[in-house]
Amino acid sequence: MFAWLEANKPDVVCLQETKVEDAGFPFAAMRAAGYEVVTYGQKSYNGVAIAARTPLTDVMRGFGDDVPDEEARVIAATVDGVRVVCLYVPNGQDLDSDRYPYKLAWFDRLVAYLGCTTSGSTQLVVCGDMNVTADDADVWSPEQWREKIHCSTPEREALAKLRSFGLVDIFRHLTPAGGVWSWWDYRGVSFFKNQGLRIDHFYVSPSVAARTEACTIDRNARKGQDASDHAPVTLTLRAPQGSRRT
C-alpha cells in the first residue's frame, strides 16, 4: 500500500477491510507518509479508515442508529468541504445465507443514514467495497453470474437506492460501456483471464460530479506480489489550487 501511496500521492485515501483494531493501525507510518488517519477497526474482520493530507473533521463511526451491530463497516469525515463516507458493505456470502438479508437491510440503513446526515447541498462522496455490481456491464460473464451473490436483483435494487437518493455512479457516468473490473477472484487464474467484477464504487452528489475530472481503476496495482484481490479506484476532482484525489 505504501508504495502505491508514494507513487500516486492521493490527497484522500479510503481503506476497507483493514482487519485490525484501532490500537494496531499503523498510524506512525501513515503520518510519515504525510497522512492523518481516522479509523473504525475490528480485530480480524471488517474495519474501515480514511486518511487525508488535510484535516479530517466531523468524524462519525457507524450508522448511529438503534440497530445492534458490532461490525465496523462505515466511517465518515469531512475533508476540504467534501463529506466522505467510506464503506465496506457486507459480502452476503450466498443467497441462502443469513448474511444475505443482513446485507440488504444494511443498504436500507445506509440510505436512512445518508438521509439523516446529509442534505441536497452536501458535497458528498460515498465510496468503497460495495460488493454489488450495478448491472451486467459490471460482470465479465453475466450468464455465469446470473442471480448469484454480487449480481442478484435484490442487491442491485438496493444499490440503485443510492442513485434514487440523487447520487451519481461516477465511474459508469464516465465509462458508460462498462466492461472494466475492480475485483478478480484469487481462485484460479481469473485475473490473468480478466474474469472480474466491478464491485468497488464511487457514488457522488451532483455538485461533486460537476467537479470530476476522472474516475479510474488501477488494474496494474492488482499485478504485484501479495496484492489485494481489489484494484484501487481513484477519483480526481477539480479544485482551485489543482486536482484532488480520493
Q: Please identify every residue annotated as catalytic.
A: 88, 129
Q: Is 29 helix (H, G, I), strand (E, B) or coil?
A: helix
- What is the rounded CA–CA span in Å between residue 128 and residue 229? 14
Q: Nearest Cα to 134, choosing from 168, 157, 166, 100?
A: 157
Q: Print the SS3 string covering 126-188.
A: EEEECCCCCCHHHECCHHHHCCCCCCCHHHHHHHHHHHHCCCEEHHHHHCCCCCCCCEECCCC
- Contact yes or no for 200/218 (Cβ under 8 A): no
- 61-90 burial code (b ≥16 CB/10 A, e <16): bbbeeeeeeeebbbbbbbbbebbbbbbbbb
Beta-carbon contacts of residue 34 (< 8 Å; ≥ 6 apart): 53
